Amino acid sequence: MDREQLERNQIPLYFIAVALAAAVGLLAPDMAQPLERLVTPAIAVLMYAMFLQIPFLDLRAGLGNRRFIGALLLANFVLVPLLVWAATRGLSDHPAVLVGALLVLLTPCIDYVVVFTHLGKGDARLTLAATPVLLLVQLALLPLYLALMLGGVAQVEIAAAPFIEAFVLLIMLPLLLAVATSAGARRSSLMAKWNDAWAWLPVPAMALVLVAVIGSQIGGVASRLDDLLPVLPVYVGFALLAPLLGMLAARLFKLSTGAARAVTFSAATRNSLVVLPLALALPESVRALAAAAVITQTLVELVSELVYVRVVPALVRG
């Protein structure tokens, strides 16, 4: 199998990984702890592999599309947070679930959204080029949104240190290493070969992350289904409404068809795999249920994406 075939078949591979992980997590619960220890390094490897695919040294052209960036920011950091705030008001009596839901729904995806945008006939290159913008803005705004939406509703204390540590290890360090690698590849044939070798890794790395995340957390989800029931309508409602907000933002900025589809996928796709370590860094009283809430969103979203790749091209046309 060459690299093109690997990328073309990645969605079936991901679902195989999810099914395998769920089977291991449910049938061999002793594997949960070793798999949980694998989550952070696996995500760090995935982020490095993904960041290497971003043309950091040639971003000016991609970021020069101001209307696309404007629509992307409007959808993800104005319209979607308003939807999340309205949708999660009913979870005030379930503080741990509320924290998990806010963590995952307020953070736009920066990894496999590129894959689904491409499958949905959107402009995946624009999405890829805008990844640093999405990353930096969500880093800045997530603490503010959490403070506003949790204030007085849930008696949950969130320490800043674990969040900072997770963002440094999972995002900033892989990002800086990827930029340094890309710069070195322009001057060194050895670094260029290293870069080319890592171009194979995003799909296997994503599969590994799914195995580690689902396998380590599915037991907790299964054992807390009653506690998680209140958040399911929130996730389903989000899956139905968030793409419409993306379409609205794209229409307001009069985007081309490919760019409009890219904004639609970005609005609907969340950063569940990256925020899971943040959920696991929460106080012990809410940690397990918050993490289970994050994983529940992942499972709902993976099914939703299969619908999006067929529906979005039909709805968003030139």
The per-residue pLDDT for range 137-155, each reduced to its tens digit, is 988 898 899 989 987 655 5
Q: Identify the residue whose tokens are 């930096």.
A: 136
Euclidean distance between CA atoms 296 and 304, whole angstroms:
13
Residue 100 and residue 279: Cα distance in Å, rounded? 7
Asked if residue 290 lies in contact with residue 104, where contact means CB atoms within 8 angstroms, the answer is no
Tell me which fold the domain 3-315 belongs to.
Na+/H+ antiporter like fold (1.20.1530)
Q: What is the pLDDT of residue 57?
A: 58
Determine the pLDDT at residue 156: 60
Environment class of 126 (CB within 10 Å of its CB; exposed 0-12, middle 13-18, buried 19+): buried
260: pLDDT confidence band, cut at 50, 70 and 90? very high
Closest by alpha carbon to 112, among 213, 184, 33? 213
pLDDT digits (tens, 9 = 90+) for 56-87: 655 665 567 889 999 999 999 999 999 999 99
Q: What is the pLDDT of residue 145?
A: 93
Contacts of 317 (CB under 8 A, 6+ apart): 257
Here the tokens at position 153 are 């509703």
Is pLDDT at 286 greater than 80 in this prediction? yes
Percentage of the residues of the chain whose pLDDT score is greater than 90: 39
Residue ranges in the chain assigned as alpha helix (H) = 3-8, 10-27, 32-52, 59-63, 66-74, 80-87, 95-105, 113-119, 124-150, 160-167, 173-185, 189-198, 202-223, 225-228, 232-252, 257-268, 272-280, 284-315
pLDDT 10s digits, 189-219 = 888 888 888 888 888 888 898 899 899 989 8
Cβ-based neighbours of 29, under 8 Å, separated by 6 or more:
219
In this structure, are residues 83 and 246 in contact, taking their beta carbons and an 8 Å threshold? Answer: no
Return the DSSP state at 230. G
Question: What dihedral do alpha carbons 79, 96, 174, 3 form, nearest 10°?
Answer: -80
Q: How far is CA 186 from the centre of its chain?
A: 30
